[in-house]
Amino acid sequence: MSNDLFSNQQNDFIAQTNLLLKKLDDFIPENELEQFCEDLKSVINFHDKKYYVDADSVISDYDYDLLFKKLKQLEEENPNLITADSPTQRVAKGLNNEFATVAHLVPMLSLENSYNITDLQDFDTQVKKALSENAIIEYIAEPKFDGSSIALVYENDMLIRAATRGNGIEGDEITQNAKAIKSIPLKANFSQYGISKIEIRGEVIMELAVLEKLNKERKKQNEVLRQQNKKELELYKNARNTAAGSLRLKNPQEVAERKLDAILYQIGYAEDTNGNDITNIFESHFKNLETLDSLGFKTPFKEKEIFTSINDVEQFCLHWQDKRDSYPIDIDGMVIKVNSIQQQQVIGRTSHHPKWAIAYKFKAKQAYSKLHNVEFQIGRTGAITPVAKIEPVQLMGVEISSISLHNEDFIIDKDIRINDTVIVERAGDVIPYIVGSLAERRTGNETKIQFPTHCPSCNHTLVKPIEESIWRCVNANCPVQIEEHLIHFVSKEAMNIFGFGEENVRTFVNQNMITDIPSIYKIDYDKVATIEGWKTKSIQNLKDGIEKSKQNENWRLLVGLGVRHIGVTTAKMLAKQVDNLMDFSEWNEEQFLQLEDVGPKVALALQQFFADEENKNLLNQLQKLGLNLSKTETVLASNKLAGKTFLCTGTFPLNSRDDIKKMVENNGGKNLSAVSANLDYLIAGEKAGSKLAKALKIDSIKIIDENEFLKMIE
């Protein structure tokens, strides 16, 4: 669209706006009502696009509200005039009690990620190999927005459905919440291109300024709650998580108040009036973006660039990496695609990512802060972890004030001191990490961090086992350890007690309702009913969850007991060795060493645990309370994977990692927890990461995807 034409259209809308404002108090004849409402809808939608998509405003908030209220009034008085594309229909009334699962028109694939700029050269090489020798290749690069993926379906130009990405095949339907996002058009003129139905993809995001404003409001609310001795509200951690959480709010009105945005960048599927697939109706990704942009969607059309040299793409990525802090939205990298749709089809895709696109992820951001203090926290195994308390610093939309210092050796190696200026980064743009301190900024007021000699909770003398870098409290009655141990016991990885969670454990411990593992199975439910927030249904859910856990396979109990070095894989192996877990009390260290994958450390930990009289007593108590300690005979679905070892990494479109692990075991295979020469198959999903990189270096490991694995057990 030319600038002159756009300018003329804008002037027409502004003129129409002024005319309507003058007529708001006039009597509208019945035969003119429908057209008057259509005019109101038209100008309101224009101003919504200007404000929410173009970040521009040509009307005062007061005048906008007058137009909106007039339209709402007329529709309430004349319900027959309400249409699906009316601005008043963005925020639905009532609550979404649940989100239905819906299938995407075509799978939503992920992108292959790279954190090394030189990987783009490898990408370029692979693209050229797939195309003819003399092919002219255009690359189009655009920011990778750090938001929550969304798929919008329009039919006959109307928005009929919105869904989250989910597992890539299916997602949660969030249509009403999507309609509350004003940068998403309720109506778009796809039919001018012969498109009857279309699914487009993008990201729902929250601008950093909006996140900051929301947190300021929460801080004010917390001041009031603090004065009332009520529980304070958690601050929103970052823009991405807040946007994702907002999409699942039950009340669309709350979604509207979060002021989310949506950036659309991909046509996933399109069909004509006869149902023919016309997804590739436009010849390039550039044209796809241009079309979406012209139809009123917010897109990266202005930010994108086209290149014929991968070296220029690299420079463009590095340029954006340098300017990311000045951008109003969180971006965590750049997306590079082959521009030609025809070439994309030739290059093809794997089961989880297109081969014609790659995401270059930016390096972790860094910031400077002052280290004020170090607190020492106790974990469920007695491990003492130093936690740095720093001057709060904003990093990628997140306020960071606490960072783990891991152990005493970490502190000594990096020479970190109280009052130091420290370098903070978010590893993988997620986990806060102290890179080191700036010795050149020291003033003489810095002091060395003194590691405690006694437990901060129970004052028991700390010990540092040989060949370990961690100090531990070995007092079995340490109050903090008991609480952490109980949290682990009820967790999904261990006993998986439905209705129980970390917060509930802490509440029950504070109320002295549970003091050890057996007390979980003796809870006074009448007392639970006196705690604020606990109703009949939630109490029954907790009771049912606790009772059901008694019938768990005994390996879950072994995990829940928290024996040092024992994870799920080892626990499952151990559970098969005896008829009852109590039998292990008769085993010596040498017997444990005979077991596969059990080394000296694990053997010693097991022998000491099962020889301990208190632990024997605990197992006896649990058995009397009805918990299953006996071996469960499992009937395998097949022996097709017998003698083979597997490790799955990343995320998968059809099954969870836990489900795949169960399939391995049910078909006679064995799951490993790490990449080594003992591994036969690595099942690689999306975002496979370091395990995939390590497996690629070992020739004997076969790397397969989810579909290939499923074929092995057909």
Could you give the residue numbers annotated as active site? 144
**Other C-beta atoms lying within 10 Å of the C-beta of residue 517:** 22
**Other C-beta atoms lying within 10 Å of the C-beta of residue 532:** 6
Comparing C-alpha atoms, which of 53, 166, 299, 167 is closest to residue 654? 167
Judge residue 611's burial from the number of C-beta atoms within 10 Å of its C-beta, 0-12 exposed, 13-18 middle, 19 or more buried: middle
Decide: 595 and 574 in contact? Cβ < 8 Å. yes
User: Can you list the pairs that 567-575 forms with residues at least 24 positions away whose Cβ atoms lie under 8 Å?
Assistant: 567/673, 568/493, 569/597, 569/671, 569/672, 569/673, 570/597, 570/598, 570/602, 572/665, 573/597, 574/606, 575/631, 575/632
Decide: 395 and 426 in contact? Cβ < 8 Å. yes
What DSSP element (H or E) covers 322?
helix 310-323
What is the 3-state secondary structure of 491-535?
CCCCCCCCCCCHHHHHHHHHCCCCCCHHHHCCCCHHHHCCCCCCC
CA neighbours closer than 13 Å in the CB half-sphere of residue 531: 19
Decide: 130 and 355 in contact? Cβ < 8 Å. yes
Residue type, 49: K
| Cα–Cα–Cα angle for 621, 623, 629, rounded to 5 degrees | 135
Q: Which two tokens stand for residue 43?
A: 């100008």
CA dist 524 and 513 (Å) reads 7
Sign of CA dihedral 361, 362, 363, 365: negative
Comparing C-alpha atoms, which of 291, 336, 332 is closest to residue 311? 336
